[in-house]
Amino acid sequence: MTYRWIACALVCVVTLTTLAAGGLEPLERPLVDLRMRLIERPADPGPILIEIDPRSVHEVGRWPWPRSLHALLLDRLTAAGAGQVYLDIDFSLRSDENEDATLEGALARRAGATTLAAFRQWSESAGAYVDAAPLGRFARHSRLVSTNAIPAADGLIRQMAGSYPWRDGELPTFSAALAGVGGAYSGEFYIDYGIDLSGITRLSFVDVAAGRVDPEVLRGRPVVVGATAVELGDILPVPNHRVLPGVTVQYLAAQSLLLDRALVRLPFWTLALCVAGFVFVLTYLARERDLRVAVAMLLGGNVLVWGGAAGLQAAFPVILDVVPFTLASFGAATMTFLMRFHGIATKLVTETMARRRSEQFVGAVAQNAFDALVTTDGNGRISFVNTAACRMFGISMAEAQGKSLSDFVARRASFAGQDLRGAFRKIMALGRPRRLVCRRANGELFYADMTVSELVEEKRRLFILMIRDIDRRVKAERRLLARERELRRAKKEAEVANQSKTEFLANMSHELKTPLNAIIGFSEIMERQLLGPLGSDDYVAYAKDIRDSGQRLFETVSDVLEFSRIEADGVKLDDEDFDLVGLCRKMADHLRTRCGEKGLEFEAYVPPADACYKGDERLIKLALNHVLANAVKFTPEGGRIAFSLNLNDDGSATVTVEDSGIGIPEEEIEACFEAFGQANRGLERSHEGSGLGLTLARRFLELHQGTIALKSRVGQGTKVLITLPAARSRGTLQQSA
């Protein structure tokens, strides 16, 4: 993969180096010319071209013409109110004095609205370039422009500049002056030979000089005057048109500027980045593709580039070189193909050698495999057995040759004669090993797993059998199945016993609570001496102890019975609307009394509003009572307990119970919710309880889709958050009613 990218980079470097050296220019120029022919556009109709055409030369009868004739033309143009006049005529040499004076007068009358041609040419006598300009008497009344046109390497006039060197400075070109940009346009540009000149105004020199042209045609428009007759020799080789008069080439260059079609090429580094990106993207997309797909992507990519170049040149004055894209992409594709072909050839050779080694290796593996490997023909006759098969069946390789596989199968009804091939195919159709009872040479039976695969080699059908001795495993499985049945039976008996225990406790609710109610009730009568004095104050204390112990036992029994009912799915919700605020207010009043008896500071906040919720008020009360009882139990004298109810905006309700008690270690918080579980730190010795309070509270709240959460730190107290969902809210009591 790395070599592919290196090859692409190398192709790009070679292509771009050739481009920088100009080696691709002969290929690119015809494509640029073709795009100009395809993308034609009309010329700007403003400038008028007055031609010194063959008819004008014929009517005058000689060349060079007397300068008074040019003066006559200028006077005609001045009288018609023409704009700037551009004369592409050489006035650098003296002629007859009267003729020169006549032309000078005509130029003066135009008051500087005339442009004369200057040029730089090679002088054989001087051995250098010399600058030729109109005579000074003419130049005083005119503006000078350069009419030089420098051919490209192929000899064609392709480019023009905004200005050319002239003596000690720069002189605007004829085309730049005609387009009105003067020396403001810097650098060279390509002439757009796709501009159609058929719609411009062309006039014959002799027609204008003789006054045969409507002056309105000339009024206010720039005028270009130059020779178009072939016999005058001012002919230049150009793309697409083969040859054009020099003045027409200058006119086309000016039109390129006027129409914003002064074509320029992309900078080299921009083009280089585009070419490299195109090649690398195309190579990335075509990697690991089918050859036809890769070729289609290559051709499609180049079609897009060529079409994009045409569209870019049509929309903007920009020439995009397409030859570097095509050469680089095809070069990279060729390199990639050659590398892929080389890789495939190398891979084939490697695979052939590897296959030979693999065959030798597989033969050795088959011979030394742990499982028995047996090959048979279509009739089940054994042709090969490995060492493991000989060891498994207790025979030698020579003894196994030619025997039928049915001789080694105990239950061979389906492995006899004509049924053997069908039996093999049934095993293959299973898609998994088939368990068989096989026979060793000494008559011993054993369990085995067999898998079968079919191989057709040189029109010969073979069956390959893989046989594994699983006798020990089968016997172990049977022992495990027997043990599993025993465990399942024991589990069922334990479940029945647990169910009986649960049902017993649930059914014993009345039998357990009734005596306790009697004990608590009679001890309370004795404690208060409702039926008369007991005779000794000690009896009163004993009666109080009896009542307290009975009350604790009653609570413990109640918790156990509630838990038993939950375990037996005996708790059913009595879903009714109840006043949560009223319930919390009663709980707060009761808790205030208990805190006062124990010497605890108590704070309570219950909002002065009604809140109706649907649920079992008894179970909610029990859940709150368990949480509050724990707060009182585990908060030492002088501590603080806070109780609050918050009615949330979403309809849910949150009850918070916070104490400054002994706290619970973080790792033991979850154990507090387990049945009969309590936090450690010796609480079992100093505080009584069944360990079911929080367990029951969570179960009761879960029946209402509520939650309970504990936050605690040792020595800093515990905070309990109880939440009832908004789905249980029924609004205010008035709304509920």
> What is the tens place of the pLDDT at every residue in 3-31?
778 888 899 999 999 999 989 999 999 99
Segment holding 445, helix H or strand E: strand 445-457
pLDDT of res. 551: 57
Q: For 688-708, how does the pLDDT look when each residue is reduced to its tens digit (9 = 90+)?
A: 555 567 777 788 788 888 898
pLDDT of res. 548: 59
- Confidence band for 459, pLDDT divided at 50, 70 and 90: low
The most confident of the ranges 34-38, 403-407, 444-448 is: 34-38
Tokens of 666: 């973080």
Q: For 474-532, how does the pLDDT look when each residue is reduced to its tens digit (9 = 90+)?
A: 888 888 888 888 888 888 877 776 666 666 555 555 556 566 666 777 676 776 676 66
Choose the weakest-confidence range: 146-150, 183-187, 291-295, 674-678: 674-678
Q: Using an 8 Å Cβ cutoff, are 705 and 699 in contact?
A: no
pLDDT of res. 290: 82
Q: What CA–CA distance (Å, rounded) separates 30 from 192?
A: 14
CB atoms within 10 A of CB 368: 10
pLDDT of res. 685: 41
Is the model's pLDDT at 106 over the cut of 90? yes
pLDDT of res. 599: 86
- CA distances 680 to 410, 531, 619, 658, Å, are 66, 45, 28, 20
Choose the weakest-confidence range: 30-39, 341-350, 485-494: 341-350
Is the model's pLDDT at 100 over the cut of 90? yes
Is the model's pLDDT at 303 over the cut of 80? yes
Half-sphere exposure of residue 714: CA atoms within 13 angstroms, side-chain side: 8
Q: For 61-87, how does the pLDDT look when each residue is reduced to its tens digit (9 = 90+)?
A: 888 899 999 999 999 999 999 999 999
- CA distances 109 to 89, 620, 715, Å, are 19, 117, 116
pLDDT of res. 684: 43
Q: Which residue has the tokens 């074509």?
A: 263
Q: What CA–CA distance (Å, rounded) separates 41 from 193?
A: 10
